[in-house]
Structure 1
Amino acid sequence: MKRYAYLVPVLFVIAFGGCRKEYEAPLPYTFTNSPGSGRFSPAVRQAIEGIYVVSDGSTQFGNEVALKWSYLLEGTDSTHYLSVFTGLDAAYFNLEGSSQTDSLVMNGYWRKLVNADIGLAHLVVQAKHNGRLQAFTGNLPVGDTLVIKGLYGSGKAAPTRPLTLQYIRPLNRKPFNIMAHRSGGRTSDLLPASENSVAIVKLASRLGATGVEMDVRYTKDGVPVLYHDNTLNLRLIQKSGLTGSLESYTYKQLSAFVRLINGEKIPTLEEALEAVVYNTGLKFVWLDTKYIGPMDPIQAIQQKYLQKAKQAGRDLNIVIGLPTTDALDSYKALKNKENTPILCELDTAITRSVGAGIWAPRWTLGPQTDEVLAMKAQGRTVYVWTLDEPTFIEEFINQNQFDGILSNYSPVVAFYHYTEQ
């Protein structure tokens, strides 16, 4: 099949690709993680979500932004976070509401993924009534408009530059999966948690994801864990003295001696899925087959956590990916394939032959409109991977054929999806 003849802009490749970056972007703000929502009741949060036009701050963050809430569960406590997705330099905000004041105050940080730019933000939710700003009480009379106004800064310095956002329309609510690569994002993009860690799984929704892709390998003693690369290397782990393939070591050895870049342990697949089910609102998990070997243990874990999600009242789909003919053979070797959702990255004929409910071609093959429509007409879902370049993310979303995009830059996908009209 003919490849999509796209010429990705050189500057974007330099900014978004390549080896591990030699700079840092430490978070300037520490979240309190206090449960509850203070004055940010469900009705207030619902009113705040939407598309806003940017006046003060547009040169830094673009002309439009999308605001979307997410949550993190810890037992019976829930903490809500507001994300702001922008169309400029892959920037996003992570904010939390303050329950210590009488106003609807939000504090947090902003970050640009194309560089190390980061800073603090302090914003207040207000209502514009007859051209004048006043406190927003949760009720918005006809004719009034929500305005979020405040300050942003650079680094850890106190915010001093004005930022004004004015509500213009609701979020696009068409069904669409925004899937974050490597369980939430790449270590090399200086996120506040390492790729394929439990911490990044818990962060993924705040980065725009509705689902995650996890890279699954086996340890020497057969424990399924999350890890992307073929070797233990300084791109992903702190210096430990261990080298070679992850498969050369037992889980006990890895737990004792290896830490990911941000200090986390390499998690088991079960630990990661436990976090998805009981801590997040994620709706989709794509288990990427990086291992060589039998699929039975992965199938057993998949079915275990599908059942746990069902018991918890969660709308969650966990699928096993088939990216290669080796993975395909491992799937075919399963004695019982019932209750085993799969995703096939191979051609349409193979996808049909194994009865996969999801087809996932790589984005460089292009829109493949005829193939996509044919697969969807047969009741299949179609995703595309791994798409990072904003121009083509916007194009693929506007074509409105795919059901979701897998990306290292879920904030970018979130912006173009939610702002699409």
Structure 2
Amino acid sequence: MAAVVGLRCLRCGTLYPPDHHAEDCPACRPVARSNLVVAYDETLMRPRPKPDAAAPRGLWRWGDVLPVTAGEGVSLGEGGSPLHHLARTGAALGLDRLHAKDETRNPTWSFKDRLACMAVSVAKRMGARVVVSSSTGNAGAAAAAYAAKAGLRCVVFTTRGAAGPMLTQMRAYGAEVVETQTKADRWILMEHAVRNFGWFPTSPFFGPVVGSNPYGIEGYKTLAYEIAEAMDWQVPDWCVLPVCYGDALVGLWRGFEEMRAFGWTDRTPRFVAAEVYGSLAAALADGGDVPPEMPKTRDTVAGSIGATRGTFQALDVLRRSGGTAVAVADADAMRWQARLAADEGLYVEPSTAVAFAAIQTLRGDDRIARSATVVALLTASGLKDPAATDAVAAPALPVPADTGAALAALRSAGIFPS
């Protein structure tokens, strides 16, 4: 466990107490609302040996850089996900070294398990009795699962139109799911509960959004550690992520920066935010601190990243890393979802597939070179939202009960040879 000294504003550096996790930075609020990150004792950033190769795999392999001990941790076996080399997809994109960090293998089938693990562990240590999340999917499912493991009550505020399987998953873990008419409605109710009842928030609950719980974001640091170790401590040139509010961007950035301070690696990758409505791309273009609110021109199949406004924390990492943002169309997301499944055996949700559409755009104008090493984050399983796939997939072929007629139908369809 690393020694926590407080929570620090990403924008201005002001240090706040460790229990300031349900707040933003008051000093920055009039200019650009900024999230806080966990600040550790300065000894954390000193050189240290790499972990023993024989140490157990998973998120808690990196417990000495996290804000709680493994003994205090609420764990379901998260982390340790595979890093795939995508040879066929790489060839299609003109990349020799394309990899994918497969977070569909986590306990609730998404990368949000890393955030929930850390947030709920801290909630339990702080004596919280109720964990609360505002979510239309993965974050709520993960919070519900880890709260169940911790023996804590969980309430999830969601909105109409959320994917049915994810709501079912939340309820299966025992969460109380509240459906509001709009996103703003859920934040009003959740903020009331946090401020008046002391519920522990794992996700954003006021707007403009600054990001999720700072302690939860620390769970995402372990993604960087696992990627570097799997690549024999070589750092990829690019990390490409589907981005809503940028929590994983911050976590990965912090992880790579820590490893550089430890002497394990020599640099930090450039980051790409694959987004839906283009708020971060617009902010990078205009040079300001505040990502703009974008018009919601359509309902998107990539609902997990369907924010119309980005965050300062995401914009900050893109600028620090020399990265960029790419807005992706729904049709491209669905095309890459199908291609990954057919070419690599990886069925991901549409929100994940946007990463590959962004890579295609950046390869098209050679911003990502053919020789670059690229890691894409596979954030969640396609089984989280199968209706989106079903809407565009070829239907099953019905055949009659008579064997001869069935064989004829299969030959006619080209499934059996004539």
TM-score by length of 2: 0.30
User: Which of the two has greater helix per residue?
Assistant: 2
TM-score by length of 1: 0.30
User: Which of the two has greater strand per residue?
Assistant: 1
